[in-house]
Amino acid sequence: MADQHQLTPGDEHAPHPSSPVEAGAEHTAARQNNRETSHPDNATDAIDDVTYVAEQRGPAGEPIREMSARERRGINRRELLKLAPVVVIGAFAIPQTREPLLNAGLGLSDWAAGILFGRRRLAQQYSNNEVAPFQRFPYNYYDVADPEVDLERWTLTVEGQVQKPGEYKLAQIQALPKVVQNTRHVCVEGWDVIGNFGGTRASDFLRLVGADLSARYLEVTCVDDYYESIDMETVLHPQTLFCYEMYGQPLDRGHGAPLRLQMPTKLGYKQAKYLDSIRVTNVLSRGKRGYWEDQGYDWYGGL
Amino acid sequence: MATLARTMERKSESTITVAYEHPWVVRVAHWLGAVAVCVLITSGLRIFLAFPSFGPKIPQQNFFVLPPKSITLGGWLAGGLQWHFTFMWIFVASGVAYLVYQAVSGHWRQVLFLPRDIKGVWPMARHYFLLGKKPDVVEAYNPLQKLAYTSTILFGIVSTLTGMVMYKPAQFWWLAWPMGGYHYARIWHFVAMCGFVAFIPGHLMMVELHGWNNFYSMITGWKREPEYRK
């Protein structure tokens, strides 16, 4: 008994969970013993005094016992089969199944991220002295730092499920209420920077052009041939901006002049610069999801 | 499988003493968790290589020693992320399954390292590393084992919570605060990874030292000739 107690220290506080059959059998046997030897009136007291037959148990609570080689082989085979879930992940080692599995994993993560996203939950905003100096705000681009946008003639093409498609001037966008926010810009690489951004709420502009707000995506293309697509829920988020200012100045060419996306609820690669056109749609044209996404980065890219 | 079962039985054709040690949930969680930890460490290092720093981008100060690309998984950042974002689910699922099982079964009492175990750590460590006398076996798991296993659970919880903050800081900003802020999540995530890296060789060494019956026991659940048999 002492040995058993030492091996399973939990015993003194709670009945051991495993192997109720053996334990129960001993219990009953001991109980009957007590009934035979004690006076009926004392029977209840006697049951409380029952001592278990000293039988040593393993860490899982089952009795330690003798087992024949034949029985062991049977058990081993059965237990090995029960490890099938572990063998299944071996599919990740096979090139033909690896890619679909990893895509499924990424899809699961994106699905969960969409569930997690709070329509009205705001990303943190920061005070002016927490904002990084403009010189420390990195220029990140995939091709050229300056695609030489003709700022004088630039217009934003609006297409898709909108009542008023066409070309929109920067002044028309700037005429809408201006939002200025200090938010964190997070790069998928692992760095981040708190910046100051000014612009128009994407939702305000989409209402101006009469967009179908129940559509699933906003597709954007850029002057430098970059392209992106964003879920409508994020587009309509109150902190999602068509950004034309940083640090109180018009966007400079390196940061995407004259207009870029700025979404503190998305990773940096979703924040397309040098916007050329936007399209409200339920189906992504040409099946294109985004410049980096089509190469293996996750589409949702949410924060 | 049948071959493996035979190999494991080759030595003893007669009746021997056996003890059931590891229930199915624990074994599946152990092996899924083991694979997931290895994938998460190697793909995580690939992700780290994309920006091997804990500071700002400008000026970028790289970590003083970089993991060689050859030990990383995924090939490039996107590949590393794919592995990481897939196996994080397997890691968390197996961890949760294990914890729920331990809580419900009451077996956590055998493994959880508690303050009363502190005094037993040094004698056990002295036995292993300085060839001291082996302390008396009084429990299913000795204090050093409890410390090691409990630590891995702690590393798992820390890496999961810090991972959540890094993955979705806009949603989990409130989780960043107890870590010391958003930037500390990356640091603690790295520290938890180092914890796993420290645990794995020690764990494997102990299995080797204490015999392969321990290894088979984590596969079939049954330990042959348990050393704690009185």
Render pLDDT for B130-174 as a digit per residue (tens, 0 to 9). Answer: 777 888 777 778 888 889 999 999 999 999 999 999 999 999 999
Residue A120: pLDDT band by 50, 70, 90 thresholds?
confident
B222: pLDDT strictly greater than 90: no
Domain shared by A131 and A209, yes or no: yes
Q: Are residues A124 and A58 in the same domain?
A: no
Task: Tell me the pLDDT band of A287, cut-offs 50, 70 and 90.
Answer: low
A156-160 and A275-281 as β-strands: parallel, antiparallel, unpaired? parallel
Tokens of A283: 């189906």
**Are residues A124 and A257 both part of a single domain?**
yes
Span A152-162, mean pLDDT? 94
Q: Is the pLDDT of residue B9 over 90?
A: no
Residue B129: is its pLDDT beyond 90?
A: no
Does residue A41 lie within any of the structural domains? yes
User: Is the separation of the CB atoms in A220 and A278 below 8 Å?
Assistant: yes
Question: B13 and A69: CB-CB below 8 Å?
Answer: yes
Does the CB of A303 have a partner CB in chain B at under 8 Å?
yes
Residues A54 and A160 occupy one common structural domain: no
Same domain membership, residue A234 and residue A125:
yes
**CATH class label, B20-52+63-224:** mainly alpha
Beta strands A249-250 and A260-262, pairing class? unpaired
Within chain A, strands assigned E span 65-67, 156-160, 166-168, 178-186, 192-201, 217-222, 227-231, 241-246, 249-250, 260-262, 275-281
The model's confidence at residue A12, banded by pLDDT at 50, 70 and 90, is very low
Instruction: Tell me the pLDDT band of B216, cut-offs 50, 70 and 90.
Output: confident
The predicted structure's pLDDT at residue B2: 61
User: A63: which DSSP letter?
Assistant: B
Residue A104 falls inside a structural domain: no
Mutate to test the interface with B, among A65, A82, A83 (most CBs of B within 10 A): A83
pLDDT score for B156: 96
Instruction: Indicate the number of domains in chain A.
Output: 2
Among residues A25, A48, A65, the one where a domain terminates is A65
- Residue A299: what are its φ and ψ, rounded to 5°? -70, -40
Written as one string, the DSSP assignment of A75-118 is HHHHHHHTTHHHHHGGGGGSHHHHHHHHHHHHHHHHHHHHHH--
Cis peptide upstream of residue B226 (ω within 30 degrees of 0): no
**A246: which 2 tokens?**
């940083």
Per-residue confidence (pLDDT) for residue A187, from 0 to 100: 95
Whether residue B226 and residue A303 make contact (CB cut-off 8 A), yes or no, is no
Give mean pLDDT, residues A131-145.
88
Residue A159 within any structural domain of the chain:
yes
Same domain for A164 and A43, yes or no, is no
What is the enclosing helix (H) or strand (E) of A203? Answer: helix A202-208
Stronger pLDDT, B163 or B5, i.e. the higher one: B163
**In chain B, where the domains are located:** 20-52+63-224
The Cα–Cα gap between A223 and A200 comes to 20
User: Looking at the structure, do residues A123 and A199 belong to the same domain, yes or no?
Assistant: yes
Q: Measured between alpha carbons, how far is B207 from A121 in angstroms, rounded to an integer?
A: 49
Shortest CA gap A85–chain B (Å): 7
Residue A96 covered by a domain: no
For residue B86, list chain A residues with Cβ-Cβ distance below 8 A.
101-102, 104-106, 108-109
Residue of B nearest to A125 (CA): B170
pTM higher than the cut 0.90: no
Please judge whether A83 and B31 are an interchain contact, meaning their C-beta atoms are less than 8 angstroms apart.
Answer: yes
CATH number at residue A193: 3.90.420.10
Give the per-residue pLDDT at A32.
42
Residues with Cβ within 8 Å of A89's Cβ and at least 6 positions away in sequence, in order, are B32, B35, B90
pLDDT at residue A38 tops 70? no
Range of the domain at A181: 117-146+153-295
Residue A176 resides in a domain: yes
Question: Average pLDDT of A236-248?
Answer: 96
Q: Are residues A59 and A124 in the same domain?
A: no
pLDDT, greater one: A291 or A30: A291
**Residue range B95-113: mean pLDDT, rounded:** 91
Residues A132 and A270 in one domain: yes
ipTM, 2 dp: 0.85
Q: A217: closest CA among A154, A160, A175? A: A160
